[in-house]
Structure 1
Amino acid sequence: MNISVVIPLLNERESLIELHDWIADVMQSNHFSYEILFIDDGSTDGSWETIQQLSENNKAVKGIQFLRNFGKSQALHAGFDKALGDVIITMDADLQDNPEEIPELYNMITSDGFDMVSGWKKKRYDSVLSKNMPSKLFNWAARKTSGVKLHDFNCGLKAYKHNVVKNIDVNGEMHRYIPVLAKNAGFTKIGEKIVQHQARKYGETKFGMDRFIHGFLDLITIWFISRFGRRPMHLFGALGVMMFAIGFAFSLYLGIDKLFLNPDGRLITDRPQFFIALVTMIIGTQFFVAGFLGEIILRTKENRKRYLIKDAI
């Protein structure tokens, strides 16, 4: 199979039929063998019934319905797990991503040898204050932190080699950072393509300003995980040893000063350096223990399901 199109959605019933027809026309005109995977992330507007109708009319349409809303990352994870295509395309269900971009994205993967290609909505139709400016700030921070030189991490229109999606773990709200996850997994040939952005035709956006706050917090998380996720002792242990050494040095100084330099002076417990030394050694010990516990958890963790499927077709 040439292409799997993975589409996570939440309450996008009005756009599904139009989106399906558009994708099907593109696939048939380019003679691709394909499948369309709709991942219903707990919709309450009848989206699943529409997906079932589309599946009855087109055997290339498949779907997964979550028991409740688990988030876009979990929806993508489920879609990646089920996808069979040589190339996997992800796109949003709100008709803001243009299916006409699919053939060129496919060629960039199969002919140009990219592991993944991310879309760049260079010209956007969103509000400047609520989306454009925060998005530019977010993307700048993501580039500086991750080292992945993309202009638009948040673009839902992306293309992947089959083995990329099968070897990355998209969880929490890490869908924004799939290029970073791919890079950390060893897939370093990451390309970018300017894609057409279209104004939302139906409904309202599901994302508010809070997504950027969460995005920056997730950015810190993925930076930490990429640097120290497999070796937490390297960070916490180093901090612990450094803090303990500082506290011990203060204690040694106080002891030498009291015993040899100023035996008739103030009691050690009356000097502020004593409390600095005590607190610093306690914090250092806690950092070291945190690193040790992190290593134990890392070696004993269990893989648990992050979503529950209600139905699938």
Structure 2
Amino acid sequence: MNVTGQQNKGHRLSVVVPMYNEADNVLPLLERVHEGLRGYAGHWEVILVDDGSSDHTARRLHAEAARFGPHVRVVELMRNFGQTAAMQAGLDAARGDVIATLDGDLQNDPSDIPAMIERLYADDLDLVAGWRRNRQDALLMRKIPSRIANRLIARTTGVHLHDYGCSLKVYRAQVIKGVRLYGEMHRFIPAWMAMATSPRRIGEMVVNHNARLHGESKYGISRTFRVVLDLLTVAFFMRYRARPLHFFGSIGLVSGGIGSLILLYLLVVKFAYDEPIGTRPLLLVGVVLVIAALQFLTTGVLAELMTRTYFESTRRPPYLVREADAPPPDVDSGWFAAEVAA
């Protein structure tokens, strides 16, 4: 009996692949996806997102989609918006109960997807992230920056994974669709997921990793510095998205407390010991700290008002309600189904 097939029967899978200047990888990618999902029992689709490629990627995507069938869908962005935006476009277009994402450079192995889906349901997880234990990349340009970034992200977010940068991930659609990705936040998806679900429902699994055969890598050591900046945003949103006053207010109270103690000390010096304080640098420090405290507290109140306005205007509460798995779907022509032997 095919355990993976029985585990996933009745669920629809959407495979999302952002692509940028990967014309030579289009056909090999689709062939590998079909080969890797040959034994998958559920119905599935592939969503190929062209991120404003400057080569012939879009043309080849449409040509191969017409050849393979309606389960291969193409989303063509008007210009290059970046991998995060391309991934979000694919997630928005996905119709499956389960969504898998992978890179279009053939370094991820689609044959890992069925086992990751099995793990998702067997362990009742919301995300299974790939772990490229044996990476086939250059040590200086890819491995070292990735290791630095992984450690920084794990320490800051509290979501401990070995490999944040692996694009091969499998999600429950109802959870990932409650998360919006902006900027260059695709590498922080597990952290964003931890704001919508428990970190205990985020797991990882060792996956295959292949050397790049065509095209050029879009990553380099410079991305490590961008990760540090993005981490500030992630850390703030993870802890204070719905209560920004606690962040700014805490800084304001500490600053105001220290400034008040300084001014109180100078007041005692002035009236108890009749010493001049007008030329003391400590007086300027105390005044600046008190003014800064007022500014932080005011900023916190304004941020709190903006947060509440956002939740009220969008009708999106600061929580997500878990829904039961959908019943087995009806078959239509927009999905691919493989014959699986019992």
1:293 aligned partner, one-letter code = L
Of 197-206 and 280-289, the range deviating more from structure 2: 280-289
1:145 aligned partner, one-letter code = T
Q: 1:4 aligns with which of 9, 14, 30?
A: 14
1:185 — aligned with what? 196
Mapping of residues 56-67 of structure 1, within 5 Å: 56-57=66-67, 58-67=69-78
C-alpha contact 2:36 2:112 (8 A) present in aligned 1:
no
Q: Does residue 1:271 correspond to 2:283, yes or no?
A: no
Structure 2: gaps (5+ residues): 1-10, 315-342
1:239 — aligned with what? 251
Q: Aligned equivalents of 2:91 and 2:285: distance in 1? A: 52
Question: Secondary structure of 1:28's match?
Answer: coil
Q: 1:198 aligns with which of 210, 224, 237?
A: 210
Q: How far does residue 166 in structure 1 lie from its aligned partner after superposition?
A: 1.4
1:141 — aligned with what? 152
Q: How many residues align?
A: 300
TM superposition score normalised by structure 2: 0.83
Q: How far does residue 151 in structure 1 lie from its aligned partner after superposition?
A: 0.4
Q: 2:263 aligns with which of 251, 254, 260?
A: 251
CA deviation profile, 1:64-98 (whole Å, cap 9, x unmatched): 11111111111111111111112111000000001
2:183 — aligned with what? 172
1:225 — aligned with what? 237
Of 275-284 and 198-207, the range deviating more from structure 2: 275-284
1:286 — aligned with what? 295
C-alpha contact 1:38 1:64 (8 A) present in aligned 2:
yes
Question: Secondary structure of 2:210's match?
Answer: coil
Q: Does residue 1:17 correspond to 2:35, yes or no?
A: no
Q: How far does residue 272 in structure 1 lie from its aligned partner after superposition?
A: 2.3
Question: Secondary structure of 2:215's match?
Answer: coil
Q: Does residue 1:44 correspond to 2:54, yes or no?
A: yes
Question: Secondary structure of 2:284's match?
Answer: helix
CA deviation profile, 1:2-25 (whole Å, cap 9, x unmatched): 211000111111101111112123
CA deviation profile, 1:114-165 (whole Å, cap 9, x unmatched): 2110001101111112211221121122222222121000001011112122
1:311 — aligned with what? none
C-alpha contact 2:35 2:111 (8 A) present in aligned 1:
no
Q: How far does residue 30 in structure 1 lie from its aligned partner after superposition?
A: 3.2
2:30 aligned partner, one-letter code = H
TM superposition score normalised by structure 1: 0.91
1:99 aligned partner, one-letter code = P
Q: 1:88 aligns with which of 99, 102, 105?
A: 99
User: Percent of pairs identical after alignment?
Assistant: 36
Q: Aligned equivalents of 1:253 and 1:227: distance in 2? A: 35
Q: Aligned equivalents of 2:92 and 2:147: distance in 1? A: 31
Structure 1: gaps (5+ residues): 304-313
2:128 — aligned with what? 117
C-alpha contact 1:73 1:172 (8 A) present in aligned 2:
yes
Q: 2:223 aligns with which of 198, 211, 230?
A: 211
Q: 2:138 aligns with which of 127, 137, 157?
A: 127
Q: Aligned equivalents of 1:4 and 1:203: distance in 2? A: 25
Q: Aligned equivalents of 1:111 and 1:243: distance in 2? A: 50
C-alpha contact 2:240 2:247 (8 A) present in aligned 1:
yes
Distance 1:279 1:75, change over 3 A: same
C-alpha contact 2:37 2:110 (8 A) present in aligned 1:
no
Q: How far does residue 252 in structure 1 lie from its aligned partner after superposition?
A: 2.3
C-alpha contact 1:164 1:187 (8 A) present in aligned 2:
no
Q: How far does residue 112 in structure 1 lie from its aligned partner after superposition?
A: 3.2
Q: Aligned equivalents of 1:124 and 1:296: distance in 2? A: 46
Q: 2:36 aligns with which of 26, 32, 48?
A: 26
Q: Aligned equivalents of 1:146 and 1:168: distance in 2? A: 16
CA deviation profile, 1:254-302 (whole Å, cap 9, x unmatched): 223222x223x32x31222211211111211221122122122223347
Superposition RMSD on alpha carbons, in Å?
A: 1.7
C-alpha contact 1:27 1:33 (8 A) present in aligned 2:
no
Q: How far does residue 100 in structure 1 lie from its aligned partner after superposition?
A: 1.2
1:79 — aligned with what? 90
Q: Aligned equivalents of 2:37 and 2:278: distance in 1? A: 78
